[in-house]
Chains A and B, each alone.
Chain A
Amino acid sequence: MSVHTPHAKRRGDRKAAVGNVGRPPVGWAVPGILFFALFAIVPLAIAVYLSFTTWDGLDSPTLTGFDNWTRLFKDSEFGQAAWLTLLLTTISWAFQTPVALLLGVWAAGRQRTRAVLSAIFFIPLLLSTTAIAMLFHALLDPNFGVIKEIGPWLGIDPNVMGSSTGALLVVAFVGGWQFMPFHTLIYQGGARQIPEVLYQAASIDGAGMVRQFFHITLPQLRHTMTTSSVLMIVGSLTYFDTVLIMTKGGPGTDTTILPYLMYRTGFQTYDLGYAAAIATALVIVATGLSLLLVRFSGFGSMRSTREGM
C-alpha cells in the first residue's frame, strides 16, 4: 500500500498538472489503426471466414460449416506437417539460443575487435532469405557443390538434402545461420544492461568467469531470453521461403511443414478453404505458444530483473 500510494499520487499529479499536453490526441492513432486493421485484422478475419468454406479461387466461396476443420483433425498429412513444424521449431530454438546467447554476451564487451567482429557476424541478417536459400542450395548440390568435396572429409553424406533428417536439419541450420545475428544482437543489448557492480561484487566474493555467467548473466538475461525465444518460435512456425527454395517439402513430404502445406494446398491445389483452415490453425498455435512462453517465464508480471539490488 505504501508503495502504491505515492505512485498513484504521482501519476495523478502529472495528469492534473500537464493534462493531455504530453500525450497526442487519439486522432493521431487513427491512420495506424486503420492501416493495421486493413492489412492485418481484415485479412485475418477473411481467412477465418474462408476456413468455413470451400473455394477454388474462381467462383464465390461456398459455406461448408466445420468440414475443413474436421478434415484437419483426420488428415494424416496435416498431422505429419504439425509434427515436423514442432520438430523444426525445437531444433531451431535449441540450436540458435545457446550460440546467440554466448555470442551476444561476448559481443557485449567493449573491445574494438569485438565491434568489428560483431558487424561481420551481422551480415547474414542483411541478406534476403531467398538469396541465402539459393546460396546454400548451390553449396549443398551433391554433384557440384562444396559438400561433395568437404562432406566426406567431415563424415557427412553429400546427399544431405536428399535424406529425410538431413533435409530438416539443413532447413533448421540455414534458418539459424540467417537469424542468429538478430538474436545475438538482442542478447548483446540485454547483457549490456547488466550493472557492472554485480560482477565487481561477485569478483570480490571470488566467483570466476563461469560462475559469474551462470549466476549473474544468465538470470539477468531471463527476460531477454523470453523475448528472443518468442520471436524465434513464431519465426520458425512461419518458416517458408527456405523450404520452398531448398527442398520443396521433400524428399517425399519430409520437410512439408505447416506453412508449406498451406501454400501447397492454397496455391498449387487451389483448395483455398482448407488452406485457410491450416493458416488459422497455425495462427492459433503460434499465439498459444507465445502466450504460454510469456506466462511461464514470468514476463507477464513485469518483475524487475534487478530485484535484490
Chain B
Amino acid sequence: MAMAGLLAGCGSGAGGSDNGTLTAYVYGDDAVKVQQAAVDTFNKTSDVKVKLVSVPGTDYVNKLRSAMGSPSAPDIFFNWGGGSIKPYVDSDDLVDLTSTVKDDPTLKDGFLPSIMTAGGLDGKVYGVPMRGMQPVMLFYNKALFAEHKLEAPKTWQDLQKAIATFKAAGITPFALGGSDKWPELMWMEYLLDRIGGPEVFQKIQNGDTEGWGDPAVLKTAQTVKELIDDGAFGKNFNSVDYGNGGAPTLLNKGKAAMHLMGSWEYSTQLGKAPEFAKKDLGWTAFPTVAGGVGDPANVVGNPTNYWSVNARTKHKDAAIAFLKTMASKSYSKALVDNGDIPTTSNAASMLSTSPNPEFANDQYEMVQKAPSFTLSWDQALEAQYATPLLTEISKLFAGKTTPEQFVEAMKAAK
C-alpha cells in the first residue's frame, strides 16, 4: 500500500489503458454477469475493447483506492456516487459528465432524474447509473402478523402497538444485525428523514458538520434509545450480524417479526428460506413518526450504483459510448431478469418479467414517487466522516453513549 502510494507520487499518470482497451472495475457479486454481457455486446462493435475486472465485494473499496492512486488505475469504475467519489473528485481524477449528460438525449432522458442527481456532487454529474435500485424497506413476517391480528405498520402508533404485542408474545419485534453496524445506520437514516425531513442530512452532506446539531438529530438519537430501552430489538442484537445470516434467519424462523433492510433482503431470504420468501415475506414503507415533518413517501438507501470515468483515460469517447449502453432496453431487461429494478425511465414496462413482479413493481413505484431519495449516509459522506459515524452509532446502540453525547461527537468529527 505504501509502496503503491510512493509510486503514485512520482508516477506520470499514464492511465491503465493501452492497445485500445478500457479497464472497468466492478463490484464482484452475482450481478457481474449482467455487466459482463453488456461488455461483450459493446466489444462486438467497438474498436476500443472494454475489459471488465471483477473485484470481490469486501475488497472493492480498498482495491479501487489503491489502484486509483497508482499508475495502473481503471478507466471506468463502479461506485456509489456521493461521498464515495468525493476524494476522486477533489483530486481531479474524474471526468465531469454534466454537459455530456445534458447534451445527450439517451443519457438525459434515459434515467429517473432523482437517481441521476443522487449520484452526483455539488450539482455536477460524475456517474451514469448501472445497476438496480436498493431502497431500504421494512420487511415483516406475514404469518406472525396474521397470527397476532396486526396490519403492516403505517404510523408510529401502529409500530408501537406491534412492538408491545410481539414483546408480550416473546417475539423480538425487530431483527437487527448490530454487530455489522451499518444495519443500525438504516434506523438513524429513516428516523431523521421522518422527524426532520431530508434537508437535515443534506446540510450535513454538503459539508456542514454543525448540521448534526439540528434538534431533529437529537430527537432521532433519543428515539433510537427509546426503542432499545423498550426492547424493540431484543437484548442481544449487538452480537447478531447480517453478513453471516443472523438477522435474516431471525425473521424467517419467526423469532423476530420485522426487519428494516435494503431491498436485497428479498433475494437474501429467497436464497436462505425460499418457502418463507415466497409465502410469508411482506414489505412496506417505513412508518410515519409522530410530530415529524418528513414526507412519509421519502426513501433512504442506495439509489443505485454508477460508472464513473477516470480523467486520465486515453479513450474518453469510447468510455462514454460504453456508458450510453447502460440506458439501453436490452441492458435494463438483463437487470430485470437478474431480479434487479433498473433506474431507467422505461423500467416500469419490463417489471412483469421480474422473478417477483409484485415486489419489483412496489419497489419501483416507491422510488419513482419518492420526493427524495437519501443516499445511505456511509456512502454519502466521505470516509473520514463515515467511519467515525458508524463507530458513534454503534456506541449509541450499545448504550455506551447518550443521545446528547452522540450529537456532540458528530459535531466534533473532523
B249 touching A160 by the CB < 8 A rule?
Answer: no
* Known pairs A143-B250, A144-B249, A250-B238; A59 contacts B3 (CB<8 A): no
Interface size on B, residues (CB 8 A): 41
Give the residue of A46, A58, A61, A248 whose beta carbon is less than 8 angstroms from that of B181: A248
Chain B nearest CB from A143 CB (Å) reads 6
Chain B positions within 8 Å of A, measured between CB atoms, are 1-3, 5-6, 8-9, 62, 65-66, 68-69, 87-88, 91, 93, 178-181, 235-240, 244, 246, 249-250, 255, 383-384, 387-388, 391, 394-395, 398, 400-401
Any chain B CB within 8 A of the CB of A57?
yes
Q: Which of B240, B391, B395 meets A141, CB within 8 Å?
A: B240
Is A43 a contact partner of B3 (Cβ separation < 8 A)? yes
- Give chain A interface residues in 47-70, CB to chain B under 8 Å: 47, 50, 55-61
Known A-B contacts A250-B181, A264-B387, A270-B65; the reply to A58 vs B93 at CB < 8 A is: yes
Q: B387 contacts which chain A residues (CB < 8 A)?
A: 264, 268-269
Q: Which of A59, A251, A268 contacts B238 (CB 8 A)?
A: A251
Q: Which residues on the A side are within 8 Å of B6 (C-beta)?
A: 46
Q: Quick one: given A57-B5, A269-B383, are A250 and B394 in contact (CB under 8 Å)?
A: yes
Q: Is A290 close to B, CB under 8 A?
A: no
CB of A103 closer than 8 Å to a CB of B: no
Q: Write out, one digit per residue, whether chain A residues 246-269 have a CB within 8 A of any chain B CB (1) or not (0).
A: 011111111010000000101111
Assembly CA distance A47 to B246 (angstroms): 38
A162 touches B236 (CB 8 A): yes
Give A contacts to B, CB under 8 Å.
43, 46-47, 50, 55-61, 137-138, 140-144, 158-164, 167, 247-254, 256, 264, 266-272, 276
A46 touches B3 (CB 8 A): yes
Interface CB pairs A-B, < 8 A, 25: A46-B2, A46-B3, A47-B2, A55-B5, A57-B5, A58-B69, A60-B9, A137-B244, A140-B239, A142-B236, A143-B240, A158-B236, A160-B239, A161-B239, A163-B238, A164-B398, A164-B400, A251-B394, A251-B398, A251-B400, A253-B391, A253-B394, A256-B391, A267-B62, A270-B87
Report how far A184 CA is from B93 CA in the complex, Å: 54
* A43: min CB distance to chain B, Å: 6
If the complex has contacts A143-B255, A270-B65, are A60 and B394 also in contact, measured as CB distance less than 8 A? no
Taking the closest CB of chain A, its distance from the CB of B288, in whole angstroms, is 30
Number of A-B contacts (CB under 8 A): 114
Measured CA separation A144–B147 after assembly (Å): 24
A107–B255 alpha-carbon span in the complex (Å):
47
Contacts of B244 in A (CB 8 A): 137-138, 141
Is the pair A161, B395 in contact by a Cβ cutoff of 8 Å? no
Contact yes or no, B384 A270, CB < 8 A: yes
* Cα(A272)–Cα(B31), bound, Å: 32
Distance of A9 from chain B, by nearest CB (Å): 51
Determine how close the nearest CB of chain B comes to the CB of A179; give it in whole angstroms: 24
Cα(A60)–Cα(B181), bound, Å: 32
Complex contacts, B238 vs chain A, CB 8 Å: 159, 161-163, 250-251
B residues less than 8 Å from A163 (CB atoms)? 238
Closest residue on chain B to residue A170 by CB atoms: B239
Please tell me if the beta carbons of A270 and B69 are within 8 angstroms of each other in the complex. Answer: no
A57 in contact with B65 (CB, 8 Å) = yes
Complex contacts, B395 vs chain A, CB 8 Å: 252-253
Q: Which residue of A lies closest to B245 (CB)?
A: A144
B245 → A minimal CB distance (Å)? 9
